[in-house]
């Protein structure tokens, strides 16, 4: 059976990286940096707590 929270966290990380790339393309580096930071924390939390060991 699929791990729904882990899949949702992966989808959220993809959206956040897309937002970061959008911010970089438009020159909004604050949005880009914050989005990359949130994406990296989301990936860390997914790997640490949401996946079965």
Residue-wise pLDDT for 1-53, tens only, equals: 688 999 999 999 999 999 999 999 999 999 999 999 999 999 999 999 988 75
* pTM, 2 dp: 0.89
CA distance 29 to 31: 5
Q: How far is CA 41 from CA 2, 25, 26, 28, 38, in A?
A: 22, 22, 23, 20, 5
Q: How far is CA 29 from CA 8, 11, 19, 21, in A?
A: 26, 22, 11, 10
CA distance 15 to 50: 18
Q: What is the pLDDT of residue 51?
A: 86
Q: What is the pLDDT of residue 1?
A: 61
Q: What is the pLDDT of residue 16?
A: 98
């Amino acid at each position: 059976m699929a791990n729904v929270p882990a899949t949702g966290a992966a989808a959220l990380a993809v959206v956040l990286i897309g937002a970061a790339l959008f911010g970089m393309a438009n020159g909004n580096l604050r949005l880009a940096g914050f989005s990359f930071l949130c994406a990296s924390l989301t990936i860390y939390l997914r790997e640490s707590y949401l996946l079965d060991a």
